Chains A and B, each alone.
Chain A
């Protein structure tokens, strides 16, 4: 899997947008960027993925830079329940192979 770099922790006020960055400078042309999150005491949860276009679903938006070397996950209106560890993953075999989890970003939503 391509190496990803994320800040270890971030704070965000409840109701504000949470912007989580990820660097993946070694990504190759056909590799997707996936985001998962793990709420305390639960299994990881898929959030969103993208190749080169920006993506949006009911959970979040994913902004990928034009050179594809970095991306930002946006939670538009963060709630306390969004407190979790967020993982940015670029699986070499697509998402169908086992995933390599880095340390992720611990996002803490403050009331």
Chain B
């Protein structure tokens, strides 16, 4: 199974600023996903990030607010821009499994963001 790390693990930010979250995988993967989990809620898919192409955003999420980079097959970043208190959430990345278990995903530990 893939081992995924995220940085930072948590942060407190002021409104109007931006936070960039890093996701690092220990193996090469084609597809990476970014999710948001608002307090007390389930996970919501933000976007799919494939290496070498623009990220594909889900309804309700736009590139200006959540720019994503995918420079290689083991790394991606998600930036949450122009922060407001409503952006306080856990942000998680995940990757598809490429080692045998059919089309499953492995998730990172998440980044806890609090916006004041």
Contacts and interface: CB of A to CB of B under 8 A. Distances in A.
B73 interface: no
Nearest to A97: B48
A98 interface: yes
Does more than half of chain A's interface fall in helix, strand or loop, or is it mixed?
Answer: loop
Contact of A95 (B45, B58, B102): B102
Contacts of A41: 110
17 contacts: A32-B103, A41-B110, A42-B110, A44-B105, A46-B97, A46-B101, A91-B103, A95-B96, A98-B35, A98-B48, A98-B58, A99-B43, A99-B94, A99-B105, A101-B44, A102-B42, A104-B42
Does more than half of chain B's interface fall in helix, strand or loop, or is it mixed?
Answer: strand
Interface residues of A, number: 24
Given A87-B42, A98-B33, A103-B42, A46 B106 contact: yes
A43 B107 CA distance: 5
Interface residues of B, number: 24
B110 A96 contact: no
Contact of B104 (A34, A98, A102, A103): A34
Interface of A: 32, 34, 38, 41-46, 49, 85, 87, 91, 94-104
